[in-house]
A and B are shown apart, each in its own frame.
Chain A
Amino acid sequence: GAVVSQHPSRVICKSGTSVKIECRSLDFQATTMFWYRQFPKQSLMLMATSNEGSKATYEQGVEKDKFLINHASLTLSTLTVTSAHPEDSSFYICSARFRDYEQYFGPGTRLTVT
């Protein structure tokens, strides 16, 4: 149980285009999901907290207009990177809160902006 999926696993896009990443909790309902970014050999940095049916809460320094988050249902949250640039290339990981403070992570999405 407690499986989280992400789609796509890898995406390459041209600079200036937008990319949408989906995060799904497959066997449980998640009112809260989280989006992280991870650069090589660095730790996960929380970007935003996504709550079902309400606006996401962004961490300091994260541009909400650039990283659009939608948590439309109890099993799906999406992250859209708008007008992507090469510096947005990174490993994006979502997680869903299962119970207490247990979070289950998706397998990640490798974004490369050329």
Chain B
Amino acid sequence: SQKIEQNSEALNIQEGKTATLTCNYTNYSPAYLQWYRQDPGRGPVFLLLIRENEKEKRKERLKVTFDTTLKQSLFHITASQPADSATYLCALVRASKIIFGSGTRLSIRP
């Protein structure tokens, strides 16, 4: 069956450092991979989308890589700030359906 794993349930990073979150998947060939941010008690907020034929995408301090051979995506936040603290979800998209990973709770300490 399809499986998405976000390796760390929680990640603690010092402010200013780069946070790197990992998303691995099996038994799936997504057309797109997305990353979302979710704050407690709120719906997810779309951050970035990367297509299967793209290796890397950037948006301000965010960078996403997508390796379809390794079946892995890495999500980087550079110059991290306490306001970046949230849960980050990766999501795989194929045939109009989105499957979410369980998320990584990121905490940025001052």
A-B interaction: yes
B13-21, B57-65, B70-78, B96-104: which one contacts chain A? B96-104
Check: A90 CB closer than 8 A to any chain B CB.
Answer: no
Determine if A43 and B89 form an interchain contact, defined as CB atoms under 8 angstroms apart. Answer: yes
Check: A50 CB closer than 8 A to any chain B CB.
Answer: no
CA distance A97 to B46 in the complex (A): 11
B34, B41, B93: the one within 8 Å of A108 (CB): B41
| Chain B residue contacts of A67, Cβ below 8 A | none
The interface bits of chain A over 72-114 (1 if a CB of B lies within 8 angstroms of the residue's CB, else 0) are 0000000000000000000101010100111111111010000
CA distance A99 to B43 in the complex (A): 19
| Chain B residue contacts of A101, Cβ below 8 A | 31-32, 34, 49, 93, 96, 98
CA distance A4 to B46 in the complex (A): 12
Determine if A46 and B97 form an interchain contact, defined as CB atoms under 8 angstroms apart. Answer: yes
Determine if A44 and B41 form an interchain contact, defined as CB atoms under 8 angstroms apart. Answer: no
Determine if A103 and B100 form an interchain contact, defined as CB atoms under 8 angstroms apart. Answer: no
| Chain B residue contacts of A93, Cβ below 8 A | 43-44
Check: A29 CB closer than 8 A to any chain B CB.
Answer: no
Q: How far is the CB of B55 from chain A (nearest CB, A)?
A: 18
The interface bits of chain A over 11-50 (1 if a CB of B lies within 8 angstroms of the residue's CB, else 0) are 0000000000000000000001010000000111010010
CA distance A107 to B38 in the complex (A): 10
| Chain A residue contacts of B79, Cβ below 8 A | none
CA distance A32 to B41 in the complex (A): 24
B31, B42, B96: the one within 8 Å of A49 (CB): B96
Q: How far is the CB of B70 from chain A (nearest CB, A)?
A: 22
Residues of chain B at the chain A interface (Cβ within 8 Å): 31-32, 34, 36, 41-46, 49, 89, 93, 96-103
Jot down 18 A-B pairs with beta carbons below 8 A, ordered by A: A32-B96, A42-B102, A43-B100, A43-B101, A44-B44, A44-B89, A44-B100, A46-B98, A46-B99, A101-B34, A102-B34, A102-B46, A103-B98, A105-B45, A106-B43, A108-B41, A108-B42, A108-B43
